[in-house]
Amino acid sequence: MSNILKSALRTGLSIMALAGALAVATAPADAETRFKISIDSGPTHINNITLRTFLDNLKEATGGELVGDIAESGALYAARDEARAVARGDIEMSLTATSWLSSYYSDLAVVDLPLFAGMSPDAINGVIDGDLGKELTKGFAEKLGVVVPGRWYLLGFCSTFGAGKEIKSFADYVGARIRVPGSAAYIERYRVLGAEGLSIPFPDVPLAISQGTIDGLMTTNETVASFRLHESGLKTALMDQSAVLYFVPLVSPAFWDKIGEKNRKAFSDAWDALVDGQRAEAGRRQAAAQQTNEKNGIATFTPSAEELTGVNAKLAAAIPGIAAQLKIAPEVLAIAQKAVADAPR
């Protein structure tokens, strides 16, 4: 081989090596996996704020391998459609209220029954983190074909807010049309007390209030404040402890398998590390939101202990019939009732 040919060959090989090195240096990291979370609440909501912290922590814990974005305010999916979208792999993750999930797994509706009135948030969290919550999480994940990577977020007790009709007491329920967040158990609760429950996706609520489609809605102070629903016409808030709202993290199995064991552990650890703080902050924000709502003209009414006792007794008597109608397994109802009975007050 001539010296000229040898020199050209060496030069060519050097250029190829340099090109290869540059390609490695400049190519985007193959390990980066982007994913999106669907949620129907707005940017200032406690759930959204906590999710942003979770994504920051997860990105740091995985060295930038997992990078998430949030699709807020139901921009991609209404809450009632999120679970199916996750199961199909159309989106990698959602944070969805139990009240919307019970339509897919009837036993989950036990959480929406009027069981928890009068209990402290810590006591309710103990029930949800115990045997009941574990049983429900396992059953739901298997039924729908999703992964639940950690404990549930707490939003807190719901109240009944009046719009077209001022709702100041349980007597004002009668004949009222109340929007509920999904669960048939909520609809039955209001039916027992003389109202009509209507399931409406949250993004449609402001219009439903302003057009008079509903007389009120069951939701939390935090949600009312974060969406400024006083501007849509809310006038009153009855602090009736109508239900406790929890939100479940749902992850697509395809995404979960894709990220590998190391990142799955980082994901679950990053999630669980924030749950206790989220729950505590949710409680603080509910109290602050009540004050905000009052400043914005929403009058707050609190039932007397005697009223609550009478209503809760009426609802307790209706629970077996509601549970049967909703096809909640008797053994699941028994677990829930025992957990509530054994919980500290």
pLDDT digits (tens, 9 = 90+) for 103-162: 899 999 999 999 998 888 999 999 999 999 999 999 999 999 999 999 999 999 999 999
The per-residue pLDDT for 83 is 96
pLDDT greater at residue 305 or residue 168: 168
pLDDT band at 16, cuts 50/70/90?
Answer: very low
Q: Indicate if the pLDDT at residue 27 is higher than 60.
A: no
pLDDT band at 205, cuts 50/70/90?
Answer: very high
The per-residue pLDDT for 270 is 98
Question: pLDDT digit string (tens) for 245-279?
Answer: 999 999 999 999 999 999 999 999 999 999 999 99
Residue 48: φ, ψ to 5°: -65, -40
149, 249 Cβ separation under 8 angstroms: yes
Q: Indicate if the pLDDT at residue 19 is higher than 90.
A: no
Say how many Å lie between the first and final Cα of the chain, rounded: 92
The per-residue pLDDT for 286 is 93
Q: Indicate if the pLDDT at residue 179 is higher than 70.
A: yes
- Per-residue pLDDT, averaged over 160-185, amounts to 94
Q: CA 217 to CA 180: how far, in whole Å?
A: 6
Give the Cβ contact number of residue 104 at 10 Å.
15
**Tokens, residue 78:** 């209404």
If you average pLDDT over every residue of the chain, what do you get? 90
Question: pLDDT digit string (tens) for 290-309?
Answer: 999 999 999 999 999 899 88
Q: Indicate if the pLDDT at residue 90 is higher than 90.
A: yes
HSE (CB half, 13 Å, CA atoms) of 186? 31
Q: What is the DSSP string of 215-228?
A: SEEEE-HHHHHHTT
Residue 234: φ, ψ to 5°: -65, 140
The per-residue pLDDT for 182 is 84
Nearest to 258 by CA among 90, 32, 37, 78: 32
Q: Which ranges in the chain belong to alpha helices (H)?
A: 3-26, 46-61, 79-88, 98-101, 121-129, 131-144, 184-192, 205-210, 221-226, 253-258, 260-295, 305-325, 330-342
Q: Indicate if the pLDDT at residue 15 is higher than 50.
A: no
Any bridge partners for residue 161, and if so which?
217, 237
The per-residue pLDDT for 344 is 86
| Residue whose pair of structure tokens reads 């009222």 in the numeric block | 176
- Per-residue pLDDT, averaged over 329-333, amounts to 96
Residues whose CB is less than 8 angstroms from the CB of residue 131 and which lie 6 or more positions away in sequence, other chains included: 335, 339
Question: pLDDT digit string (tens) for 51-83?
Answer: 999 999 999 999 999 999 999 999 999 999 999
% of the chain surpassing 70 pLDDT? 91
Any bridge partners for residue 156, and if so which?
245
Q: CA 345 to CA 342: how far, in whole Å?
A: 9
Q: Indicate if the pLDDT at residue 26 is higher than 80.
A: no
Q: Indicate if the pLDDT at residue 8 is higher than 50.
A: no
Q: Indicate if the pLDDT at residue 225 is higher than 60.
A: yes
Domains of the chain: 29-342 (3.40.190.170)
Q: Indicate if the pLDDT at residue 186 is higher than 90.
A: yes
pTM of this structure? 0.83
**Tokens, residue 260:** 């590998």
The per-residue pLDDT for 58 is 98
The per-residue pLDDT for 13 is 41
